[in-house]
A = this chain, B = another copy of it.
Amino acid sequence: MQITRQTEYAVRTLMELAKAEQGKLIPTKTISLNQSIPEVFLKKTIQILANAGLIVTQRGTQGGVRLAIPASEITIADVFTAVEGRLAINVCLNEIYPCPNKPECRVSGVLQRAQDALVAELSRESIADLVGQLEGTFIRGN
């Protein structure tokens, strides 16, 4: 019942990018050093965040990583979903899971409500909130 290290790493990576100058590319190594995240593991995390459309990567010299959308539009719940996949605190809450007695199952009922409460809190705050950033200052790159 714990999030993985990678999920926290992802949140901290996005915070690091949010704190940087708008649109500026930050090398993975810098994030790794600033946030004490194992570099090679961070690379994988960055790929995940890029595939999820939360960040943009740029190869080559002067390359690096930057936010793809404003930090104020990335909720913590978004990060969780990007890294861990669809959030489900129990197998049975995954719509793919073939639990035969789903509608009337009272266990899944409680778990669903608990999960909803969790997600609501995680959706309440954005990366921008975490770094104490003012809104409306993001300039979309191209």
Chain A interface residues toward B at CB < 8 A? 1-5, 7-8, 11-12, 15, 76, 80, 84, 87-92, 106-107, 110-111, 113-118, 120-122, 124-125, 129-132
Contacts and interface: CB of A to CB of B under 8 A. Distances in A.
A3 B107 CA distance: 13
A2 B120 contact: no
Q: Give me the 9 closest cross-chain CB pairs, A-B, nearest first.
A: A114-B121, A117-B117, A118-B118, A117-B121, A106-B130, A114-B122, A113-B121, A1-B3, A110-B125
A interface: dominant SS: helix
Contact of A121 (B1, B110, B130): B110
A114 to B, nearest CB: 4
Contacts of A7: 1
B125 A118 contact: no
A120 B110 CA distance: 11
Contacts of A15: 107
Given A107-B8, A107-B11, A2 B117 contact: no
